[in-house]
Amino acid sequence: MDNYVKGCIAFVFFVIPLFLLTQSIGIDKDSFNYWMDTHWLFNYEHGFIKRGLIGELFRQVGHDLTKSSLSVAQTATIIAVSAGFLALLTWFVLKSYRAGEAWHNATIFAVGFMIATAPGALQQLQFQIGRFDAFGLAILCAVFAITRRSTSPFSLALVTGALVLAILIHEAHFFWVVPLSLWLWFFHGDATKSRTVPLLVISIVTLGAVLIAGTSSYSDYIAFADIKTELSQRSDIPIKDGSLRVQFRSLDDNVTLSAKHNFTFRSIVSFMLGLASLIPYVALLLLAVTAHDRKKSSWALLAACAPLLLVVAGYDQGRWVAMANVSLCLVVIAALSNVRIMPRQAMVLLPLAVLASLCQIFLGPTGDVLSYPYIMRFI
């Protein structure tokens, strides 16, 4: 591939989307969600707690977050993570390009555009500025790069450390970052019995991390009113009671609350809409992974859709759909980069990818409590 073609691809899949993203994201605090901002103030000052790592890092460098500094930190995070995701997508299109194969290249470009407009990826990042999910996506991109380059014992240590880091940031990442990372580890390496021990090591370490991180909270150390007063005195960021209460709810409380929210007509409709929006990605996954190994397709599907299980313990349906969407995107990138798309396959996949892209632009981001809030306003 000549440099001109490479430059055109990079411009289409990296420069333009990143430019549009940076232009559309401002640092006006009024446009941000204080519910999410409250989480950035959690730290380990009173003891180890869930979701306290990010705030602890700021505490260790001696910086008290304010509205303005948090706005800058959150915006920089979104732009950096988006740049990493777009870089991975650009690599995929460049890697998959085949000189002289028009049908194959057209389909790859369409799939690339479909992933660039994925409702759970860049659209969701911009819609949910301040969510720790951005760090989960960043870690997944890093794990993708690590396992793609090597599956040596050293890379295993790096992946394990990355997964523990993801869980310390947010315990829900156990159902998102961990399953997909394990699948990437096996897909990019040799799925032999000798890899069973590394799998057990990662599983035990991450399970231990989520058991510790998921059950430790402010409720173990301090009363709700006291910690709210303390956080309010520490920063000018408004403290949202609902956000702080996650530190005072048990798993049983979360399951009960989720059942109350999820079993309503609008919630069921939105979740079905979210699942339906994943169908094009599932179709691509089955084609791409089956081309390598038919047995791997079922494992890929399970790993990618694992975040949907969070609907049992959390009512942020849009977020769980977004996580599954991102996982499906990364599986497609991993598997399709080494697949030659035949003209007969392209005649199906090309219009599918184009139609899905158009629908995604119309649907907007997957949202948080309800999937696709821009559409659910009319239901």
Q: How far apart are CA 343 and CA 340, in angstroms?
A: 10
Q: How far apart are CA 97 and CA 111, in angstroms?
A: 12
Which pLDDT tens digit goes with each residue over 263-300? Answer: 888 899 999 999 999 999 998 888 877 766 666 678 88
Q: How far apart are CA 305 and CA 321, in angstroms?
A: 9
pLDDT the model gives residue 58: 92
Q: Around Cβ 320, how many Cβ atoms within 10 Å? A: 28
In 3D space, the residue among 37, 19, 305, 60 whose CA is nearest the CA of residue 183 turns out to be 305
Which pLDDT tens digit goes with each residue over 252-273? Answer: 888 888 888 888 888 999 999 9
Q: How far apart are CA 233 and CA 310, in angstroms?
A: 34
Average pLDDT over residues 205-230: 87
* The token pair that represents 323 in the structure block: 């996580």
Q: Around Cβ 78, how many Cβ atoms within 10 Å? A: 21
What average pLDDT does the chain have?
85
- The pTM score is 0.91
* The token pair that represents 303 in the structure block: 């790993």
Name the band, by pLDDT with cuts 50, 70 and 90, for residue 20: low
Which pLDDT tens digit goes with each residue over 341-377? Answer: 888 888 888 999 999 988 888 888 898 888 888 888 8
Domain map (residue ranges) of the chain: 3-376
Q: Please state, in angstroms and as integers, the Cα–Cα distance from residue 29 to each residue in 71, 72, 77, 87, 134, following that order.
A: 6, 9, 15, 28, 18
pLDDT the model gives residue 29: 44
